[in-house]
């Protein structure tokens, strides 16, 4: 007769996985059980704490919708998302650094001509973004789709707004690199913004006396054939939250100096009606294969 005591219970649970055929699944479950059981023993977890944890995770799940993934937010603020990214991109070999996809990627964007203003109806200071995509040797990569998206001047993404389904996308688009690997577009200068604090993850952050802010940035997803897909941000130098990003997503290489300009024309020769900002960045891709990430809603539907 087995004795499911504190000292024997872990081995008994691990033994229950003996018939699992997939070695990776078996390994993951064994390590998960070991870590969970070790946490309970090390902390002398009480019934009240265990019940609170169950209730918290229940509320996280209840907050999820097709356009909001509270579990991803929980993973982000605990540093798990960036840790998964780090262990999957250990050897960058001169390639541009990666960072988290974030919860506001909605899938493939509409292809737009170079120079398009992706934020034509939004308030904010104008910004011209020019980028170039190359391989590790600096050779330009042509016909590469580059998805971009960012928050508005109030810190909101289009998909967070109630009228998103009817108003359509804003501050997002897809540009295809030219023969020299270049792309460019107009938008507004993004600002730092808080993660959603109206759910259990936000409540946890505030209870831990952490601020909920992310530094200003633009998201990029670069997907060139024969190269690993690149998911990254370019951060605005000088943002007050650069060193304390709530999701731990900043890397020094990804910080760009965004210049304030007063030139009467932008780099493509079109007139500028007021002072504007210039963001310039070169993306270096690592050779290899891979599948570009899907938005979390699509992942859930496929699961």
Q: What are phi and psi of 248, to 5 degrees?
A: 60, 35
Two tokens, residue 217:
């940035």
The catalytic position among 157, 184, 186, 233 is 157
Q: Are 52 and 42 within 8 A, CB to CB?
A: no
Q: Check if 37 is active-site.
A: no
Q: Are 232 and 208 within 8 A, CB to CB?
A: no
Q: Check if 157 is active-site.
A: yes
Q: How far is CA 298 from the centre of its chain?
A: 15
Which phi-psi region, left, alpha or beta, contains residue 82 (left: φ > 0; alpha: ψ -120 to 50)? alpha
Q: Are 118 and 186 within 8 A, CB to CB?
A: yes
Q: Check if 281 is active-site.
A: no
Q: Check if 219 is active-site.
A: yes
Give the Cα separation of 133 and 145 in Å (integer). 10
How crowded is the C-beta side of 283, counted as CA atoms within 13 Å? 33
Q: What are phi and psi of 48, to 5 degrees?
A: -65, -40
The catalytic position among 219, 227, 233, 284 is 219
Give the Cα separation of 89 and 71 in Å (integer). 22
Nearest C-alpha neighbor of 63 from the set 198, 161, 214, 160? 198
The catalytic position among 193, 227, 233, 277 is 193
From edge to edge, which strands make up the β-sheet containing 145-149?
172-176, 145-149, 217-222, 230-236, 255-256
The catalytic position among 174, 186, 214, 233 is 214
* Site of tokens 């250990």: 90
Give the Cα separation of 286 and 96 in Å (integer). 8
The catalytic position among 186, 217, 277, 284 is 217
Q: Check if 184 is active-site.
A: no
What residues act catalytically? 157, 193, 214, 217, 219
């Amino acid at each position: 007769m087995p004795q499911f005591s504190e000292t024997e219970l872990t081995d008994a649970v691990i033994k229950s996985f003996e018939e699992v055929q997939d070695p990776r699944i078996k390994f993951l479950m064994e390590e998960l059980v070991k870590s969970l059981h070790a946490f309970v023993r090390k902390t002398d977890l009480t019934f009240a704490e265990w019940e609170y944890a169950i209730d918290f995770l229940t509320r996280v799940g209840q907050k999820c919708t097709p356009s909001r993934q509270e579990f991803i937010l929980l993973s982000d603020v605990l540093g798990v998302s960036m840790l998964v990214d780090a262990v999957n991109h250990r050897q960058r070999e001169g390639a541009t650094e990666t960072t988290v996809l974030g919860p506001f990627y909605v899938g493939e964007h509409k292809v737009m001509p170079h120079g398009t203003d992706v934020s034509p109806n939004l308030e904010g200071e104008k910004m011209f973004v020019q980028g170039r995509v190359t391989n590790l040797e600096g050779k330009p990569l042509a016909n590469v789709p580059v998805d971009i998206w960012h928050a508005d001047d109030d810190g909101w993404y289009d998909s967070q707004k109630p009228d998103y389904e009817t108003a359509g996308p804003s501050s997002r688009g897809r540009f295809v690199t030219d023969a020299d690997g270049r792309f460019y577009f107009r938008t507004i200068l993004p600002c730092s913004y808080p993660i959603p604090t109206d759910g259990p993850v936000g409540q946890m952050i505030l209870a831990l006396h952490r601020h909920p802010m992310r530094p200003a940035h633009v998201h990029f997803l670069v997907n060139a054939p024969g190269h690993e897909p690149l998911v990254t941000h370019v951060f605005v130098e000088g943002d007050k939250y650069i060193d304390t990003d709530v999701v731990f997503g900043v890397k020094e290489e990804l910080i760009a100096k965004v210049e304030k300009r007063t030139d009467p024309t932008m780099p493509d020769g079109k007139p500028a009606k007021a002072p504007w900002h210039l963001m310039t960045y070169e993306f270096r891709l690592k050779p290899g294969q891979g599948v570009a990430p899907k938005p979390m809603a699509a992942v859930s539907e496929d699961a």
